[in-house]
Amino acid sequence: MVSPRKMTRATLAALCASALVLTGCSTDEAGNGASETDDQGREALKTNGDEVIQDPDGTGAEVSQRFFESSDTVVVSAKDREQQLQAAAIAAELGAPMLVRLDGTDETVDAEIERLGASKVINVPGDDASIEKTAPVESADKAGDVAAIAALEPKNPRDLVMPPVFATAVSSRASVATARAAGADVQVLAAPDPRASSQSMRDVTEQDALALGRQWGSNENFQARAALASNGELPGGGGLVFPGRRMIALYGHPYGPDLGLMGEQDPAAAVELAKEYASRYEPLDDQPIIPAFEVIASVASEFPGDDGNFSNETPIEDIAPYVDAIVDAGGYAVIDLQPGQGNFLEQAKIYEDLLKRPNVGLALDAEWKLNPGEEPLSRIGSATAAEINEVADWLAALVRDNDLPQKAMILHQFQVAMYPDRENIVTGQPELAWILHADGHGVPEQKFDTWNVLRQGLDPNYFMAWKNFIDEDSPTFTPEQTYADVNPRPWFVSYQ
């Protein structure tokens, strides 16, 4: 769905291209450095919807084309990091685009210099006076280079209103330097998604935005994620489940302590306990630590029950007080399914009213998924990719249709055979955050072995989660051990 603001901008661009009669419009249909008049009558860089500037070769040429119709000066860096950091500083000082000569890119760089009509090319390294008097950008490590460049003060920006520009740590240095030199405010986000921060969510909702680098995907992908940015924020800020926060959860069932830590007390007391556990992690992390509940909604049973599926579906009215309590306290709730011989999707639909709430996700536990005719505990359960995909499709549609923030989609696993065709699970939906919960127990060596095996060949769209067992682990990890010894650091830690 296109917002009224974006419809107005797209209509303006279309009129510019067809009629060429509106003041401030450019004939450059690609928008290369072109300008238009914005809604307040100001001269602005032309946009036509949210857009990814791919910069596929990392030279910055495509970004230069987008921000500059022409330039008397261009800064061209060799490929070494220190040279690029100095070139970035010079570009910001002069208000000039920056290009990088990487292996095999001379033709691209030279073509862009010619297009710009530059009469002066400052090569770094070189003997131009600008090089001696301009110190390189200060950055302690490569991971911080993009943020350091984005923090530069442009001394000669273009006299245009610039759209918001998003980058990540893997955007090219040249792309960020060029955008900053032109006068754009570049926000370096923790993930290639406009919902990564509260500020980026506001910006992409209010106006068209540009994103730098292939990691943002296609324009269509970027626009789909931008369309979800008005659906509200999650606890801790921003609209992505991860990154941007970590969660510390109590796992259990409302009926009592036998099924986990959460059910050892009433909802209010359980919230206080979850907050206490979360507080132990706060000194160890610079991200918000969010208390959470993972509530077992359907419980695997040794008896078939009235419906014959060896799973007891807990009434919503018994679960809702726990969900309400943790969400009202600024936390997050996850509905966990143990389907027995039942169907994941059918059980998920039982709890649809809870899943329609903003801060409630879903967990699927294949350990307790049996085929028809199989007895409980006859084997460790398993689920096919097709079974998982149908739930994911339904949950993603629920997010879209109800204007909800992104939802956690957790898969529990401690054996490879639990998801025999895991590679066929379709991930990457903007509506869902995929989380692999490695919930094996035992001594540290056993848990690490499980953790490492499960990560082999894992789709990069998954965030890793870890479980600390109070009784079954020997020993139970402290928060310090959980963070220091588990690699990569888990995004979701539950206690059972």
| Other CB atoms within 10 Å distance of the CB of residue 453 | 15
Q: What is the mean pLDDT of residues 446-472?
A: 95
Q: For residue range 332-385, what is the model confidence (pLDDT) as tens digits? A: 999 999 998 889 999 999 999 999 999 999 999 999 888 877 777 678 999 999
Helix axes 316-328, 267-281, angle to 10 degrees: 40
Spatial distance between the Cα atoms of 370 and 376, rounded to a whole number of angstroms: 7
Q: For residue range 66-120, what is the model confidence (pLDDT) as tens digits? A: 999 999 999 999 999 999 999 999 999 999 999 999 999 999 999 999 999 999 9
∠ CA 287-290-296, nearest 5°, is 140
Could you give phi then psi for residue 363, rounded to 5 degrees?
-125, 135
pTM of structure: 0.90
Spatial distance between the Cα atoms of 231 and 226, rounded to a whole number of angstroms: 10
Instruction: With H, G, I as helix, E, B as strand and everything else as coil, classify residue 333.
Output: strand
Mean pLDDT computed over every residue of the chain: 91
Residue-level pLDDT at 12: 34
Q: For residue range 191-243, what is the model confidence (pLDDT) as tens digits? A: 999 999 999 999 999 999 999 999 999 999 999 999 999 999 999 999 999 99
Strand partners of residue 334: 294, 361
Neighbouring residues of 90: CB distance < 8 A, sequence distance ≥ 6: 75, 96, 98, 122, 124, 130, 131, 134
Domains and their CATH numbers in the chain: 51-225 (no CATH), 246-495 (3.20.20)
